[in-house]
């Protein structure tokens, strides 16, 4: 009886193994989820900060201009002043082909050292731009005619309102834009001697 039982168990084991080998192998499917790449969000405040810190290459711009007038100007109280000895402020007036409310665009610089009276001076610091006329040589700073929506798309909506326009700012740099029917008619870029910007201050320097 014992031999019969053992033989029966061995037979059943053999049979179960045989059945198992006949089972079809189920292939393993690798599921790949194709996802859209993450959208890169543009920090418009950082775009504005970069824009104001490096307005444009002044020396390259000056090299393109055939006609200009230069005058000595007194230090505006609001303007950035490194307080260096043997220094001076100069105003460059550049005529443009198209004329707006004024015939020229004005750029004010701080100059010091041996080359301060020369047109080519690598030490000069851009202090202010007063732009009244469109000028393609200003490249990305050719803002005349842009709409308020275009400005917001470029720099964001963090700005101050004043009578007649808006002000973008970062640290001690401001961009004061006069608008008419939501279009830029003129603007000023200023490197200031202070970092606290408010509407009272803007009204003082625009009045």
For the chain, domain boundaries: 44-206
Dist CA 90 CA 116 (whole Å): 9
pLDDT tens digits, one per residue of 88-105: 999 999 887 766 557 789
Q: How many CB atoms lie within 10 A of CB 193?
A: 16
| Mean pLDDT to the nearest integer, 164-188 | 95
Instruction: Tell whether the model's pLDDT for residue 194 goes beyond 50.
Output: yes
**Strand 173-180 versus strand 183-191 pairing type:** antiparallel
pLDDT of residue 174: 95
Give the pLDDT score at 57: 82
% of the chain beyond a pLDDT of 70: 77
Most confident of 31-40, 55-64, 119-128, 185-194: 185-194
Average pLDDT over residues 141-163: 94
**pTM score:** 0.75
Using DSSP's 3-state secondary structure scheme, residue 58 falls into: helix
206 versus 182: the higher-pLDDT residue is 182
Q: What is the pLDDT of residue 199?
A: 83
Res 26 pLDDT > 80? no
């Amino acid at each position: 009886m014992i031999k019969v039982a053992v033989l029966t168990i061995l037979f059943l084991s053999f049979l179960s193994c045989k059945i198992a080998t006949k089972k079809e192998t189920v292939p393993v499917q690798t599921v790949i989820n194709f996802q859209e790449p993450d959208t890169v969000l543009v920090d418009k405040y950082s775009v504005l900060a970069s824009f104001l810190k490096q307005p444009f290459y002044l020396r390259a711009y000056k090299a393109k201009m055939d006609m200009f007038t230069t005058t000595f100007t007194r230090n505006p109280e609001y303007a950035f002043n490194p307080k260096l000895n043997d220094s001076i402020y100069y105003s460059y007036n550049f005529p443009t082909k198209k004329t707006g409310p004024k015939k020229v665009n004005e750029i004010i610089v701080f100059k010091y050292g041996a080359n301060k009276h020369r047109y080519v001076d690598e030490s000069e610091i851009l202090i202010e731009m007063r732009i009244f006329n469109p000028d393609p040589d200003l490249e990305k700073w050719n803002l005349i005619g842009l709409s308020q929506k275009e400005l917001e798309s470029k720099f964001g909506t963090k700005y101050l309102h004043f009578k007649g326009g808006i002000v973008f700012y970062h640290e001690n740099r401001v961009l004061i834009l006069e608008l008419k029917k939501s279009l830029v008619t003129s603007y000023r870029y200023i490197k200031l001697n202070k970092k606290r910007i408010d509407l009272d201050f803007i009204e003082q320097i625009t009045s």
